[in-house]
């Protein structure tokens, strides 16, 4: 549990969400002294500390109460929730807001030379992914008996490397799939960045600070529309 009296927010240190997270915090009026190598940045005008970590660690830090809030892609949130459900770890969070950045979709793809394929084609195939839990749930729901190969990176090269027959990976422009000779199939999850809160947060001062920040967040989102 975060026993500090300062509200602790986890964001991605460096990656696709970091710039948008930093500018969102700025737009909310939170002044931060972000030095490149620092794990924790202290706000100079509010009782807030920002923890900068790998995106994969963010849902767990919030679920375990190490951080009060976090900003993370729904893809990582859903995968972590399913993984923790499976192993019996706490996985509840309150989703405070869907944010207007970090959009991507988790989609199936296979070698282009095979042409269009129906869902039945996946039966008995090996599918490489970084999101095994989400993929397994989809396969179970669709009654597809396929094997899941877990890879933490370079998923798009798996078919060419002979590690899998198909992949299930994040796509935004589609350029990566195209560059690797892969054809995009069904989207199994659409994702945006989202703001999450520890489900058991009961510190009045922190809750009242969050209640001050949320209308500002609404204002920032409306201003962009
Ligand atoms: O180091 P750390 O673990 O923090 O970062 P990471 O490398 O795991 O994540 P990062 O920074 O790549 O992505 C962070 C989050 O951004 C993801 O969890 C998604 O919520 C979101 N996001 C949005 C994306 C993309 N778009 C995206 N296109 N994450 C990854 N990609 C990758 C995808 O995996 C593929 O390799 O980009 C490639 C495809 O892009 P296109 O444009 O060629 O289709
Ligand atoms: Zn990551």
- Pocket flag, ligand 1, residue 15 (CB < 6 Å): yes
> Distance (Å, rounded) from C-alpha 174 to C-alpha 187?
12
Predicted local distance difference test score (pLDDT) of residue 176: 98
Structural domain tally of the chain? Answer: 2
Predicted local distance difference test score (pLDDT) of residue 19: 96
Predicted local distance difference test score (pLDDT) of residue 35: 77
Residue nearest to atom 20 of ligand 1 (CA): 73
Check whether residue 17 and residue 79 sit in a common domain.
Answer: yes
SS3 content of the chain, % helix, strand, coil (to 5): 35, 30, 35
Confidence of residue 59 (pLDDT cuts 50, 70, 90): very high
In a domain, 220, yes or no: yes
Check whether residue 113 and residue 187 sit in a common domain.
Answer: yes
Check whether residue 79 and residue 115 sit in a common domain.
Answer: no
Predicted local distance difference test score (pLDDT) of residue 159: 98
- Pocket flag, ligand 1, residue 12 (CB < 6 Å): yes
Tens of pLDDT, residue by residue over 132-186, are: 999 999 999 999 999 999 999 999 999 999 999 999 999 999 999 999 999 999 9
Which domain range does residue 210 map to? 7-102+192-224
> Distance (Å, rounded) from C-alpha 8 to C-alpha 130?
28
Residue to mutate (ligand 1; options 80, 104, 190; most atoms within 8 A of CB): 104
- Give 73 Cα–ligand 2 centroid separation in angstroms: 10
* Both structure tokens of 213: 């920040």
Check whether residue 15 and residue 92 sit in a common domain.
Answer: yes
Other CB atoms within a 10 A radius of the CB of residue 139 amount to: 20
- Give 158 Cα–ligand 2 centroid separation in angstroms: 18
């Amino acid at each position: 549990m975060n026993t500090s009296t300062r509200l602790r927010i986890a964001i991605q240190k460096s990656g696709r969400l970091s710039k948008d997270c930093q500018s969102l915090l700025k737009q909310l009026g939170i002044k931060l002294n972000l030095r490149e190598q620092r794990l924790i940045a202290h706000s100079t005008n509010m009782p807030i500390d920002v923890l900068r970590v790998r995106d994969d660690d963010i849902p767990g830090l919030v679920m375990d109460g190490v951080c009060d809030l976090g900003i993370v892609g729904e893809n990582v949130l859903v995968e972590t929730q399913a993984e923790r459900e499976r192993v019996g770890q706490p996985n509840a969070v309150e989703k405070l807001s869907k944010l207007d950045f970090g959009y991507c979709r988790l989609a199936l793809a296979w070698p282009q030379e095979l042409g269009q394929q129906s869902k039945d084609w996946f039966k008995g195939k090996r599918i490489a992914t970084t999101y095994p839990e989400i993929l397994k749930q989809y396969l179970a729901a669709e009654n597809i008996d396929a094997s899941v190969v877990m890879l933490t990176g370079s998923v798009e090269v798996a078919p060419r490397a002979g590690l899998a027959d198909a992949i299930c990976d994040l796509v935004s422009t589609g350029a990566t799939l195209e560059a690797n000779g892969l054809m995009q199939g069904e989207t199994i999850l659409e994702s945006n960045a989202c703001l999450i809160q520890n489900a058991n947060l009961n510190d009045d001062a922190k809750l009242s600070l969050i209640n001050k920040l949320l209308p500002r967040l609404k204002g920032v989102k409306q201003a962009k529309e």
